[in-house]
């Protein structure tokens, strides 16, 4: 739901629907229900955000009923970021023109960064709560394959690939694919700790940095000149190369992928 919400938020901003309710947050068109297509897009985004927020809160409550400090911490931090995300979203549609940084690139960037943080924390909550069985290395290999495929897919629909127009729909698909890559890299980073090649976590962790930078550049935080485009290409290339290198190196590891009885049975 959080991944879908991010995609919907990007689409809402890209179509300009975020300002369609005439700065009447949380209302639309002088009432609870929208009366135009742009207003409906903004209203529907708010509705999904509200439902998703309650699910995130429920996830945190569920986490506190389970053992595992990391599970509870990640879920609680996701809830703590919700008020900040709601406030930034409200600023973008109510204080446009009132504050110098109302509906602007820095505000959009902050909105995306907080959304990515919430998504990552929820992914980490899931990973911390699961009890995996069997050798971890086969899971890591599959996950790195998913990450590499998602990076390629996100690059194709990004603005660096000129044959495909960077329409609002393409922007939503770009961030959806990129978030899949983020989730896969987080999973690979966690599972590598229980393998014979735990040092490969540096490669998967590093891949997250240029990927996140490329996602930020996709929000028009700066003028998209030819130099910025090359920088964006370099971000995706670095992320893909790091994932590919990690995937190839896991092929040389021990088949069972275990780093010893202690590491493979460790619990959070």
For the stretch 1-15, pLDDT in tens is 999 999 999 998 888
Average pLDDT over residues 125-144: 87
What is the chain's mean pLDDT, rounded? 86
Residue 33 — very low, low, confident or very high, per pLDDT cuts 50/70/90? confident
Inform me whether the pLDDT recorded for 195 exceeds 60. Answer: yes
Task: Report CA-CA distances (Å) from 246 to 33, 41, 161, 198, 210.
Answer: 50, 41, 25, 11, 15
Q: What pLDDT is recorded for position 264?
A: 39
- Residue 27 CA to residue 19 CA, distance in Å, equals 12
pLDDT tens, residue by residue, 159-188: 999 888 999 999 999 999 999 999 999 999
Question: Which of 128, 98, 99, 93 lies closest to 111, judged by CA?
Answer: 93
Domains and CATH numbers, the chain: 1-130 (no CATH), 134-268 (1.20.120)
Looking at residue 31, the DSSP 8-state letter turns out to be B
pLDDT at 94 exceeding the cut of 80: no
Burial level of 231, CB count in 10 A (0-12/13-18/19+)? Answer: middle
Residue 189 confidence (pLDDT) = 94
Sequence-distant (6+) residues with CB within 8 A of 130 are none
């Amino acid at each position: 739901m959080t991944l879908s919400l991010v995609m919907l938020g990007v689409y809402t901003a890209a179509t300009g629907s975020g300002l369609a309710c005439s700065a009447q947050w949380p209302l639309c068109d002088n009432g609870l229900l929208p009366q135009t297509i742009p207003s409906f897009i903004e209203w529907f985004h708010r509705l999904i955000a509200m439902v998703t927020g309650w699910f995130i809160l429920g996830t945190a409550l569920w986490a506190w009923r389970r053992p595992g400090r990391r599970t509870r911490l990640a879920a609680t931090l996701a809830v703590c970021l919700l008020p900040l995300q709601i406030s930034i979203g409200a600023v973008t549609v109510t204080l446009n023109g009132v504050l110098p940084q109302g509906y602007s690139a820095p505000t959009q960037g902050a909105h995306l960064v907080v959304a990515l943080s919430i998504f990552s924390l929820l992914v980490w909550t899931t990973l911390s709560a699961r009890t995996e069985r069997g050798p971890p290395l086969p899971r890591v290999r599959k996950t790195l394959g998913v990450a590499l495929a998602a990076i390629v897919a996100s690059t194709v629909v990004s603005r660096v690939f000129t044959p495909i127009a960077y329409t609002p729909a393409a922007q939503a698909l770009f961030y959806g694919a990129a978030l899949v890559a983020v989730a896969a890299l987080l999973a690979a980073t966690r599972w590598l700790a229980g393998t014979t090649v735990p040092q490969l976590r540096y490669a998967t962790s590093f891949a997250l940095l240029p990927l996140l930078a490329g996602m930020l550049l996709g929000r028009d935080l700066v003028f998209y000149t030819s130099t910025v485009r090359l920088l964006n290409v370099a971000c995706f290339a670095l992320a893909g190369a790091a994932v590919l290198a990690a995937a190839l190196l896991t092929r040389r590891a021990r088949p069972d992928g275990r780093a010893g009885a202690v590491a493979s049975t460790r619990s959070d």
